[in-house]
Amino acid sequence: MPISVFDLFKIGVGPSSSHTVGPMMAAFKFAAVLRDSQILNQVNRLEVHLYGSLSATGVGHGTDHAIVMGLLGERPDTINPSIINPTIAALKETCCLSLGRQKDVAFDWQRDMIFHEESLPHHPNAMKLCAFAEDGSLLIENTYYSVGGGFVVDQNQVDAKLEDMDTAEIPFDFNSAEELLALCKRENMSISRLMLENEKTWRSEEEIRNELWRIWEVMCECIDNGLTHEGVLPGGLNVKRRARQLHQRLLAAEQNDCLIATTFSAMEWVNIFALAVNEENAAGGRMVTAPTNGAAGIIPAVLHYYMKFQAGASERNVVDFLLAAGAIGILCKKNASISGAEVGCQGEVGSACAMAAAGLAEVMGATPEQVENAAEIGLEHNLGLTCDPVGGLVQVPCIERNAIATIKAINAAQMALRGDGTHFISLDKVIRTMRDTGKDMLDKYKETSKGGLAVNAIEC
């Protein structure tokens, strides 16, 4: 099934695309089914069942809150994040949920929000939603899987072995980097141009450019908010925001000519951009999944780096960057995973690093072969990265990990641009290795907070 660049870059809220954005969207869809099936008025009570990683780290990721907001009829791309906490507080007090903002139903948080230790077979991120009539009989239930990056599939799609009901035919379909490069060579196109032609399957070129620019505007808003806000992040770890203070120090240092060199200054800026985004994510602010929330700081930071330091950078560069990055994200999702619960953080930060490296190489004038090489370098050097968030929160090590991967992405692009595109290990082989490594990785290292730093930090 075809994947659009807009499937990878979604506007949503923090702190997690798979644990917050996906579950909210699943609950929104469930409420819509109740409405469209003409049984909304029959619903008297709801139950929410969480399994696997959604259960293990759901509270820390705000999964329970996200599902309730989705049942209320809120979408992750349009919700005002500031209404979430007061709405949840009111619901817990009244035990009454306005289903789709149309029908009041009973919802007792202690009774109806149920966390299960077991996992369901299809994916670690599983949830089941149930609606009951006044006499206690089950009206309808459905199981949803949040498979990473805000993508959601329900049980019917799983049974039909479909993760996407989109049956559109794109002009240049590719399932591997080898196929992508062959298409670029045959059509004499850059990767971004080929992606643009594919995107025209769903939208006009003007709409594509406008929507990608809107994605970029939200990324910039997120950075600006992260550079403005300060204080302690929610969740109980007492992690302090650093981006605003570091930003002020950097501005002062530049004004006083205290920095060693321009390159050092650029690295400082990149770190601050990434920290700003991921601190906003940890606080539940408005985000763009890129391709996930846990790795959402890497692509915006690298693109912001380019737009700030490259003379003559323009809107066209933003579009080309995101399209080329999207091509790599598509390959990672199709042939491995972008879900930390499925393959560890290599699937989130690793994929984002590869995407950012490819995007930067593209706008720096790389050939398709050099772009593929940049992505390969970025992903290869994140292989084996575990997902072990302390306290189930997207804070430690996630925030700093984005900053480190941002520098890796820039370095990967620079190394690729110094070569001719030929290299020893192909991107396809690295993606395959990520998939196999994820299968071999113990579950405690895959977004369950049962191993790695999540355990050792508490013991210390």
Mean pLDDT of 181-199: 98
Residue 172 lies inside a defined structural domain of this protein: no
Look at residue 266 in the predicted model and tell me its pLDDT: 81
User: Which tens digits make up the pLDDT trace of 122-135?
Assistant: 999 999 999 999 99
Residue 339 lies inside a defined structural domain of this protein: yes
Q: Which residue segment(s) compose the domain that 285 sits in?
A: 177-459
Structure-derived torsion over alpha carbons of residues 265, 267, 268, 271, reported in degrees to the nearest 10: 160
Burial tier of 58 (Cβ tally within 10 Å: 0-12, 13-18, 19+):
buried
Residue 222 lies inside a defined structural domain of this protein: yes
317 and 344 housed in the same domain: yes
Does the pLDDT at position 105 exceed 80?
A: yes
Does the pLDDT at position 41 exceed 70?
A: yes
Does the pLDDT at position 460 exceed 50?
A: no
User: Which tens digits make up the pLDDT trace of 64-93?
Assistant: 999 999 999 999 999 999 999 999 999 999
Please tell me the total count of domains within the chain. 2
Token pair, residue 131, equals 């609606």
Mean pLDDT of 25-37: 96
- Of the residues 159, 187, 208, which one is the last residue of a structural domain? 159
Nearest-CA neighbor of 279 among 200, 232, 329, 226? 226
* Of residues 165 and 410, more confidently modeled: 410
192 and 330 housed in the same domain: yes
41 and 95 housed in the same domain: yes
Q: What single DSSP character describes residue 232?
A: B
Residue 184 lies inside a defined structural domain of this protein: yes
125 and 193 housed in the same domain: no
Residue 162's pLDDT band, with cuts at 50, 70 and 90, is low
| DSSP string covering 166-195 | -----TT--SSHHHHHHHHHHHT--HHHHH
Answer whether 178's CB lies under 8 Å from 426's CB: yes
185 and 281 housed in the same domain: yes
Residue 126 lies inside a defined structural domain of this protein: yes
Nearest-CA neighbor of 55 among 343, 449, 458, 453? 449
Q: How far is CA 197 from CA 43, 187, 208, in A?
A: 45, 11, 10
97 and 195 housed in the same domain: no
Beta bridge partners of 98: 104
Answer whether 171's CB lies under 8 Å from 194's CB: no
Q: Over pLDDT 70: what percentage of the chain?
A: 96
Does the pLDDT at position 387 exceed 90?
A: yes
Mean pLDDT over the full length of the chain:
94
Residue 3 lies inside a defined structural domain of this protein: no
Report how many helices (DSSP H) and strands (DSSP E) the chain contains, helices first: 21, 9
Token pair, residue 1, equals 């099934």
309 and 353 housed in the same domain: yes
Does the pLDDT at position 104 exceed 90?
A: yes
User: Which tens digits make up the pLDDT trace of 206-259?
Assistant: 999 999 999 999 999 999 999 999 999 999 999 999 999 999 999 888 777 665
240 and 291 housed in the same domain: yes
User: Which tens digits make up the pLDDT trace of 111-123?
Assistant: 999 999 999 999 9
- Of the residues 159, 188, 219, which one is the last residue of a structural domain? 159
Strands 286-289 and 138-148: unpaired
364 and 288 housed in the same domain: yes
Beta bridge partners of 106: 45, 96
152 and 186 housed in the same domain: no
| Side chain identity, residue 26 | A
82 and 223 housed in the same domain: no
Residue 2 lies inside a defined structural domain of this protein: no
Q: What is the CATH number of the domain that holds 31?
A: 3.30.1330.90
Mean pLDDT of 345-352: 98
Q: What single DSSP character describes residue 233?
A: P
- Of the residues 159, 189, 206, which one is the last residue of a structural domain? 159
Where are any strands of DSSP class E within 188-315? Answer: 286-289
Answer whether 235's CB lies under 8 Å from 391's CB: yes
Residues in the chain, total = 460
356 and 318 housed in the same domain: yes
Residue 5 lies inside a defined structural domain of this protein: no
CA–CA gap between residue 452 and residue 25 (Å, rounded): 30
Strands 125-132 and 103-106: unpaired
| DSSP string covering 357-382 | HHHHHHHTT--HHHHHHHHHHHHHTT
Q: How far is CA 269 from CA 11, 306, 356, in A?
A: 24, 11, 16
CA–CA gap between residue 87 and residue 65 (Å, rounded): 9
